Amino acid sequence: MKYVMANSGADAVDILRRANGDGRVIAGGTDLVLDIAGGKYAPSVLVDISAAGDMREIVPREQCIAIGGSVTHSQAARSEVILREAPALAEACAAVGSLQIRNVATLAGNVVNAQPAADAAVALSALGATCVVAGEEGDRILPMERMYEGFGKSAVDSARELVREIRVPRRKKGEASAFIRLEMRKALALPMLNVAAAARVEDGVVVWARISMAPVGVGPVRAVAAEEGLVGFSLEEEVILRAAEKALEQANPRSNPLRGTRAYRMQVLPVLVARALRAVRTQLEKEEEETR
Protein backbone atom coordinates (compact mmCIF):
# COMPACT_ATOMS: atom_id res chain seq x y z
CA MET A 1 0.00 0.00 0.00
CA LYS A 2 1.28 3.48 -0.82
CA TYR A 3 0.55 6.53 1.33
CA VAL A 4 0.30 9.80 -0.55
CA MET A 5 -0.30 13.33 0.75
CA ALA A 6 -2.54 15.30 -1.61
CA ASN A 7 -1.88 19.03 -1.76
CA SER A 8 -5.36 19.98 -2.94
CA GLY A 9 -8.80 18.53 -3.61
CA ALA A 10 -8.09 18.41 -7.34
CA ASP A 11 -4.76 16.71 -6.70
CA ALA A 12 -6.53 14.06 -4.62
CA VAL A 13 -9.11 13.39 -7.34
CA ASP A 14 -6.31 13.02 -9.85
CA ILE A 15 -4.37 10.56 -7.70
CA LEU A 16 -7.55 8.54 -7.20
CA ARG A 17 -8.20 8.54 -10.95
CA ARG A 18 -4.74 7.17 -11.61
CA ALA A 19 -5.24 4.49 -8.96
CA ASN A 20 -8.20 3.35 -11.03
CA GLY A 21 -10.51 2.34 -8.20
CA ASP A 22 -7.86 0.80 -5.94
CA GLY A 23 -7.20 3.98 -3.99
CA ARG A 24 -9.12 5.52 -1.14
CA VAL A 25 -9.39 8.92 0.50
CA ILE A 26 -8.14 9.22 4.08
CA ALA A 27 -8.91 12.40 5.98
CA GLY A 28 -8.60 12.08 9.78
CA GLY A 29 -8.71 8.33 9.44
CA THR A 30 -10.39 7.74 12.79
CA ASP A 31 -12.93 5.41 11.17
CA LEU A 32 -10.93 4.29 8.14
CA VAL A 33 -7.79 3.15 9.98
CA LEU A 34 -9.90 0.82 12.10
CA ASP A 35 -11.86 -0.38 9.06
CA ILE A 36 -8.65 -1.23 7.24
CA ALA A 37 -7.27 -3.01 10.31
CA GLY A 38 -10.53 -4.95 10.48
CA GLY A 39 -10.25 -5.97 6.84
CA LYS A 40 -13.19 -3.95 5.55
CA TYR A 41 -11.04 -2.18 2.95
CA ALA A 42 -7.68 -2.99 1.39
CA PRO A 43 -6.73 0.00 -0.76
CA SER A 44 -3.49 -0.01 -2.67
CA VAL A 45 -3.17 3.75 -2.32
CA LEU A 46 -4.26 5.96 0.56
CA VAL A 47 -4.74 9.57 -0.47
CA ASP A 48 -4.37 11.79 2.58
CA ILE A 49 -6.32 15.02 2.20
CA SER A 50 -5.76 16.37 5.71
CA ALA A 51 -3.13 18.85 4.53
CA ALA A 52 -4.85 19.82 1.27
CA GLY A 53 -4.38 23.58 1.15
CA ASP A 54 -7.77 24.46 -0.33
CA MET A 55 -9.91 22.39 2.05
CA ARG A 56 -8.72 23.36 5.51
CA GLU A 57 -10.67 26.52 6.14
CA ILE A 58 -14.12 27.64 7.24
CA VAL A 59 -14.99 30.55 4.98
CA PRO A 60 -18.08 32.74 5.37
CA ARG A 61 -19.40 33.60 1.91
CA GLU A 62 -22.42 35.68 1.02
CA GLN A 63 -24.90 32.83 0.70
CA CYS A 64 -23.27 30.17 2.81
CA ILE A 65 -20.54 29.21 5.23
CA ALA A 66 -18.13 27.03 3.26
CA ILE A 67 -16.58 24.32 5.39
CA GLY A 68 -13.61 22.71 3.65
CA GLY A 69 -13.46 18.95 3.22
CA SER A 70 -10.50 18.68 5.61
CA VAL A 71 -11.94 20.81 8.40
CA THR A 72 -11.86 18.94 11.72
CA HIS A 73 -14.53 18.63 14.38
CA SER A 74 -12.32 20.70 16.71
CA GLN A 75 -12.05 23.51 14.21
CA ALA A 76 -15.78 23.58 13.65
CA ALA A 77 -16.64 23.39 17.36
CA ARG A 78 -14.47 26.45 18.06
CA SER A 79 -15.20 28.44 14.94
CA GLU A 80 -16.71 31.83 15.78
CA VAL A 81 -18.88 31.94 12.69
CA ILE A 82 -20.22 28.44 13.30
CA LEU A 83 -20.86 29.09 16.98
CA ARG A 84 -22.77 32.21 16.04
CA GLU A 85 -24.67 31.06 12.96
CA ALA A 86 -24.93 27.28 13.25
CA PRO A 87 -24.85 26.51 16.97
CA ALA A 88 -26.37 23.07 16.36
CA LEU A 89 -23.31 22.17 14.30
CA ALA A 90 -20.83 23.50 16.86
CA GLU A 91 -22.54 21.46 19.59
CA ALA A 92 -22.72 18.34 17.43
CA CYS A 93 -19.04 18.53 16.54
CA ALA A 94 -18.07 19.05 20.16
CA ALA A 95 -19.93 15.88 21.14
CA VAL A 96 -18.00 13.44 18.99
CA GLY A 97 -15.53 11.01 20.53
CA SER A 98 -12.81 12.74 22.44
CA LEU A 99 -10.62 15.77 21.86
CA GLN A 100 -7.93 13.52 20.40
CA ILE A 101 -10.41 12.25 17.83
CA ARG A 102 -11.97 15.66 17.15
CA ASN A 103 -8.54 17.09 16.44
CA VAL A 104 -8.15 14.91 13.35
CA ALA A 105 -11.62 13.67 12.39
CA THR A 106 -13.31 15.72 9.68
CA LEU A 107 -16.96 16.75 9.23
CA ALA A 108 -16.86 15.51 5.66
CA GLY A 109 -15.61 12.17 6.92
CA ASN A 110 -18.44 12.01 9.43
CA VAL A 111 -20.91 12.38 6.58
CA VAL A 112 -19.15 10.08 4.11
CA ASN A 113 -18.60 7.29 6.63
CA ALA A 114 -22.40 7.18 6.59
CA GLN A 115 -22.97 5.71 10.04
CA PRO A 116 -26.56 6.18 11.23
CA ALA A 117 -25.71 7.97 14.48
CA ALA A 118 -23.21 10.45 13.04
CA ASP A 119 -23.50 13.72 14.97
CA ALA A 120 -22.16 16.35 12.57
CA ALA A 121 -24.32 14.81 9.84
CA VAL A 122 -27.50 15.20 11.90
CA ALA A 123 -26.79 18.87 12.54
CA LEU A 124 -25.88 19.47 8.88
CA SER A 125 -29.14 17.85 7.85
CA ALA A 126 -31.24 20.12 10.06
CA LEU A 127 -29.29 23.15 8.85
CA GLY A 128 -30.11 22.35 5.23
CA ALA A 129 -26.47 21.88 4.29
CA THR A 130 -25.26 20.73 0.88
CA CYS A 131 -22.11 18.80 0.02
CA VAL A 132 -19.87 19.55 -2.94
CA VAL A 133 -18.59 16.20 -4.18
CA ALA A 134 -15.52 16.48 -6.39
CA GLY A 135 -14.85 13.73 -8.90
CA GLU A 136 -13.32 13.14 -12.30
CA GLU A 137 -16.32 14.70 -14.06
CA GLY A 138 -16.18 17.80 -11.89
CA ASP A 139 -18.38 18.78 -8.97
CA ARG A 140 -21.80 17.51 -8.08
CA ILE A 141 -23.76 19.20 -5.34
CA LEU A 142 -25.92 17.03 -3.10
CA PRO A 143 -28.23 18.01 -0.27
CA MET A 144 -27.75 15.99 2.93
CA GLU A 145 -30.82 13.84 2.13
CA ARG A 146 -29.06 12.47 -0.96
CA MET A 147 -25.76 11.65 0.72
CA TYR A 148 -26.86 8.17 1.83
CA GLU A 149 -27.57 5.05 -0.20
CA GLY A 150 -28.16 2.57 2.58
CA PHE A 151 -26.98 1.65 6.06
CA GLY A 152 -23.33 2.62 6.20
CA LYS A 153 -23.36 3.32 2.47
CA SER A 154 -22.49 6.79 1.24
CA ALA A 155 -23.50 8.32 -2.07
CA VAL A 156 -19.83 9.26 -2.31
CA ASP A 157 -17.43 6.65 -3.71
CA SER A 158 -14.28 7.29 -1.71
CA ALA A 159 -12.23 5.42 -4.30
CA ARG A 160 -13.03 8.05 -6.89
CA GLU A 161 -14.36 11.19 -5.27
CA LEU A 162 -14.38 13.28 -2.13
CA VAL A 163 -16.41 15.95 -0.40
CA ARG A 164 -14.34 19.06 -0.98
CA GLU A 165 -16.72 21.47 0.71
CA ILE A 166 -19.83 21.47 2.88
CA ARG A 167 -22.08 24.51 2.54
CA VAL A 168 -24.22 25.67 5.44
CA PRO A 169 -26.72 28.48 4.70
CA ARG A 170 -26.00 31.79 6.45
CA ARG A 171 -28.17 32.41 9.46
CA LYS A 172 -30.70 35.16 9.03
CA LYS A 173 -32.50 37.05 11.74
CA GLY A 174 -35.43 35.01 13.01
CA GLU A 175 -33.60 31.70 12.59
CA ALA A 176 -32.05 29.41 15.18
CA SER A 177 -30.74 25.86 15.55
CA ALA A 178 -30.06 23.45 18.40
CA PHE A 179 -28.65 19.97 18.95
CA ILE A 180 -29.55 17.48 21.69
CA ARG A 181 -27.76 14.22 22.34
CA LEU A 182 -28.73 11.33 24.58
CA GLU A 183 -25.54 9.57 25.58
CA MET A 184 -24.28 7.19 28.20
CA ARG A 185 -21.11 9.19 28.87
CA LYS A 186 -19.99 12.70 28.16
CA ALA A 187 -17.09 11.52 26.01
CA LEU A 188 -16.03 8.46 24.03
CA ALA A 189 -19.65 7.51 23.58
CA LEU A 190 -21.80 7.03 20.54
CA PRO A 191 -25.20 8.67 20.88
CA MET A 192 -28.23 6.67 21.94
CA LEU A 193 -30.25 9.29 20.07
CA ASN A 194 -29.35 12.64 18.61
CA VAL A 195 -31.67 15.32 17.37
CA ALA A 196 -31.03 18.63 15.63
CA ALA A 197 -33.68 21.25 15.01
CA ALA A 198 -33.65 24.49 13.05
CA ALA A 199 -36.47 26.90 12.34
CA ARG A 200 -37.35 30.28 10.94
CA VAL A 201 -39.98 32.37 12.69
CA GLU A 202 -41.61 35.46 11.18
CA ASP A 203 -44.26 37.54 12.93
CA GLY A 204 -44.28 35.04 15.74
CA VAL A 205 -45.03 31.94 13.62
CA VAL A 206 -42.89 29.23 12.11
CA VAL A 207 -42.17 29.70 8.41
CA TRP A 208 -40.09 26.55 8.11
CA ALA A 209 -38.70 23.97 10.46
CA ARG A 210 -36.23 21.13 10.00
CA ILE A 211 -35.96 18.36 12.56
CA SER A 212 -33.32 15.68 11.99
CA MET A 213 -33.07 12.57 14.13
CA ALA A 214 -30.64 9.66 14.45
CA PRO A 215 -30.02 6.76 14.71
CA VAL A 216 -33.54 6.02 13.60
CA GLY A 217 -32.91 5.00 10.00
CA VAL A 218 -30.36 5.28 7.26
CA GLY A 219 -28.51 8.49 8.02
CA PRO A 220 -30.18 11.55 9.59
CA VAL A 221 -33.96 11.21 9.25
CA ARG A 222 -36.09 14.28 8.78
CA ALA A 223 -39.27 14.33 10.85
CA VAL A 224 -41.29 15.71 7.93
CA ALA A 225 -44.71 15.26 9.50
CA ALA A 226 -43.61 17.17 12.58
CA GLU A 227 -41.97 19.84 10.43
CA GLU A 228 -45.09 20.42 8.35
CA GLY A 229 -47.20 20.50 11.48
CA LEU A 230 -45.18 23.41 12.87
CA VAL A 231 -45.62 25.76 9.93
CA GLY A 232 -47.99 28.60 10.73
CA PHE A 233 -47.87 28.04 14.47
CA SER A 234 -45.89 29.79 17.16
CA LEU A 235 -43.43 27.71 19.16
CA GLU A 236 -45.61 27.35 22.23
CA GLU A 237 -45.35 24.40 24.57
CA GLU A 238 -48.40 22.52 23.20
CA VAL A 239 -47.26 23.04 19.63
CA ILE A 240 -43.83 21.73 20.52
CA LEU A 241 -45.23 18.68 22.31
CA ARG A 242 -47.49 17.87 19.39
CA ALA A 243 -44.60 18.11 16.94
CA ALA A 244 -42.46 15.95 19.24
CA GLU A 245 -45.03 13.15 19.10
CA LYS A 246 -45.38 13.50 15.34
CA ALA A 247 -41.64 13.00 14.98
CA LEU A 248 -42.18 9.33 15.77
CA GLU A 249 -43.91 8.88 12.40
CA GLN A 250 -40.61 8.95 10.55
CA ALA A 251 -38.51 7.27 13.21
CA ASN A 252 -37.55 3.62 12.90
CA PRO A 253 -34.84 2.84 15.46
CA ARG A 254 -33.36 -0.61 15.85
CA SER A 255 -32.70 -2.26 19.19
CA ASN A 256 -29.10 -2.02 20.32
CA PRO A 257 -27.79 -4.11 23.21
CA LEU A 258 -25.62 -1.26 24.48
CA ARG A 259 -27.42 1.89 23.50
CA GLY A 260 -31.08 1.20 23.98
CA THR A 261 -33.96 -0.89 22.73
CA ARG A 262 -36.28 0.25 20.00
CA ALA A 263 -39.06 0.66 22.56
CA TYR A 264 -36.92 2.84 24.81
CA ARG A 265 -35.77 5.02 21.95
CA MET A 266 -39.32 5.52 20.71
CA GLN A 267 -40.27 6.64 24.21
CA VAL A 268 -37.39 9.05 24.61
CA LEU A 269 -37.26 10.50 21.11
CA PRO A 270 -40.22 12.90 21.57
CA VAL A 271 -38.60 14.20 24.76
CA LEU A 272 -35.43 15.06 22.86
CA VAL A 273 -37.28 16.60 19.93
CA ALA A 274 -39.22 18.79 22.38
CA ARG A 275 -35.96 19.86 24.07
CA ALA A 276 -34.40 20.75 20.75
CA LEU A 277 -37.42 22.83 19.76
CA ARG A 278 -37.46 24.59 23.12
CA ALA A 279 -33.78 25.40 22.71
CA VAL A 280 -34.56 26.91 19.32
CA ARG A 281 -37.36 28.98 20.85
CA THR A 282 -35.06 30.19 23.64
CA GLN A 283 -32.46 31.32 21.11
CA LEU A 284 -35.09 33.22 19.14
CA GLU A 285 -36.43 34.88 22.30
CA LYS A 286 -32.90 35.86 23.26
CA GLU A 287 -32.27 37.27 19.78
CA GLU A 288 -35.46 39.31 19.99
CA GLU A 289 -34.53 40.72 23.37
CA GLU A 290 -31.08 41.67 22.20
CA THR A 291 -32.34 43.53 19.17
CA ARG A 292 -35.01 45.49 21.00
Binding site residues, another protein, CB under 8 A: 1-3, 5, 26, 29-30, 33-34, 36-37, 46, 48, 50, 74, 97-101, 103-104, 186-188
Q: Tell me, what amino acid is at 135? A: G
Q: Which helix (H) or strand (E) holds 266?
A: helix 262-290
- Report the nearest approach of another protein to the CB of residue 186 (Å): 6
**Cβ atoms 164, 71 nearer than 8 A:** no
CA distances from 216 to 193, 250, 284 (A): 8, 8, 28
Q: Whole-number minimum distance, CB 94 to another protein, in Å?
A: 8
**Nearest CB to another protein, comparing residues 104 and 241:** 104
Least distance CB 183 / another protein (angstroms): 12
Q: 102 or 246: whose CB is closer to another protein?
A: 102
As a whole number of angstroms, the distance between CA 99 and CA 95 comes to: 9
Least CB distance from residue 43 to another protein, whole Å?
10
- Report the residue number, 75 or 125, with the smaller CB distance to another protein: 75
Which of residues 3 and 138 has its CB atom nearest to another protein in the complex?
3
Question: Comparing C-alpha atoms, which of 73, 79, 162, 169 is closest to residue 121?
Answer: 73
Q: DSSP letter at 253?
A: P
Cα separation, 107 vs 103, whole angstroms: 11
Closer of 172 and 186 to another protein (Cβ): 186
The b/e string for 243-259 (b: 16+ C-beta within 10 A; e otherwise) is bbebbbebbebeeeeeb
Residue 177 C-beta: closest distance to another protein, Å: 22
Name the minimum Å distance from CB 98 to another protein. Answer: 2
Which residue's CB is nearer to another protein, number 148 or number 179? 179
Angstrom distances, CA of residue 261 to CA of 18, 80, 179: 46, 38, 22
Cα distance between residue 280 and residue 189, in whole Å:
25
Nearer to another protein, 25 or 247 (CB): 25
- CA 155 from chain centre, in angstroms, equals 15
DSSP tally for the chain: helices H, then strands E: 11, 14
Min dist CB 37 to another protein, Å, is 8
CB of 99 to another protein, least distance (A): 5
For another protein, give the closer residue by CB, 100 or 234: 100
CB environment 74-111: b (16+ within 10 A), e (fewer): bbbbebebbeebbbbbbbbbbbbbeeebbebbbbbbbb
